[in-house]
Amino acid sequence: MGIPQQQETADWRPFVVFVQHLLGSDVTRAGQYGRILAIRTKKAARRTVGYLEPEEARAVISAVDRQSRCGDHDHTLLLFLYNTGARVSEALGLRAGDLRLDRPRQVRLRGKGRKERVCPLWPETAVALRKIIGVSENEDVLFRNDGVAYLLGKYVRAAAEQVPAPRKRRVTPHILRHSCAVALLQAGVDISVIRDYLGHASVATTSRYVTANLEMKRDVLEAFWKRAALAPTGPRKWRPSPSLLAFLDSL
């Protein structure tokens, strides 16, 4: 009997539950099921979460030519994704009735399993949304599915003239969601609040962003040294250069 290769603990668990069910309902093969359950699983290494720093994300959004035919639509879509951390499917299902553009500015998003959550909107996002809604609010979806990955790639290339870093990475629409989460963490927002903001079922999913951000790791380490009164008293003999830190951030 073949054993499925484990990708993550969550993928392996349903198989284990199934074998445990067989063990309880078919005692004649208990030995075989027991040997299956005794097999040690091997976890695959989890990829580091990719994201854009705030100045990089802003450069990509600002690269949209808002005077072009689709400029307002594209600018609003990218700004909305970064502001809310919404999945692309959530953004493409957005309707005017889901928005509140007066204070408190907010949007109601429908995530996986039709679970709803409310996210605040920046004033500039509300202004941008008003422009694409027009005068009469109707139930038509606000964003066209014109290939969000293609649009984002186009503006990443355009932004590379000012901020070259994003072009060196594969920037997908989901990276704007990751970028929103990391920016919230950098701003000191509690991880449980970010979990609700992004619509994660478990805080364990949200905790990936903590391990992804090298700048935050440095800040935590500095805070630890100060709190533990272990900070060196003498002048530092060596300090990493900005170019070295940029290289480490790119790893």
Q: Which residue in the list 177, 178, 195, 197 is annotated as catalytic?
A: 177
Confidence band for 151, pLDDT divided at 50, 70 and 90: very high
Which residues are registered as beta bridge partners of 117?
Answer: 109
pLDDT at 74: 96
Q: Which residue in the list 33, 51, 75, 87 is annotated as catalytic?
A: 87
The residue among 229, 181, 187 whose CA lies nearest residue 206 is 181
Average pLDDT over residues 137-156: 84
pLDDT at 84: 96
44 or 155: which leads in pLDDT: 155
Buried-state track 19-31, b at ≥16 Cβ within 10 A, e below 16:
beebbeeeeeeee
Q: Which residue in the list 33, 51, 155, 209 is annotated as catalytic?
A: 209
Residue type, 154: K
With beta carbons less than 8 A apart as the criterion, state whether 27 and 135 touch: no
174 is catalytic: yes
87 is catalytic: yes
What does R_g of the chain's alpha carbons equal in angstroms? 23
Average pLDDT over residues 13-22: 77
The answer on pLDDT for 43 being more than 90 is no
Buried-state track 126-142, b at ≥16 Cβ within 10 A, e below 16:
bebbeeebeeeeeeeeb
The answer on pLDDT for 92 being more than 60 is yes
75 is catalytic: no
Q: Express as a percent the part of the chain with pLDDT over 70.
A: 72
pLDDT at 16: 76
Q: Which residue in the list 43, 112, 217, 226 is annotated as catalytic?
A: 112
178 is catalytic: no
Average pLDDT over residues 187-204: 86
pLDDT at 36: 82
The domains of the chain, with CATH numbers, are: 1-46 (no CATH), 54-211 (1.10.443.10), 213-250 (no CATH)
The answer on pLDDT for 67 being more than 70 is yes
pLDDT at 76: 96
197 is catalytic: no
239 is catalytic: no
- The owner of tokens 């700048």 is 215
pLDDT at 102: 94
Provide the 10 A C-beta neighbour count for residue 243. 8
pLDDT at 140: 77
137 or 67: which leads in pLDDT: 67
DSSP state of 95: B
234 or 100: which leads in pLDDT: 100
Q: Which residue in the list 58, 130, 174, 208 is annotated as catalytic?
A: 174
pLDDT at 232: 52
Q: Express as a percent the part of the chain with pLDDT over 90.
A: 39
- The owner of tokens 């309902």 is 25
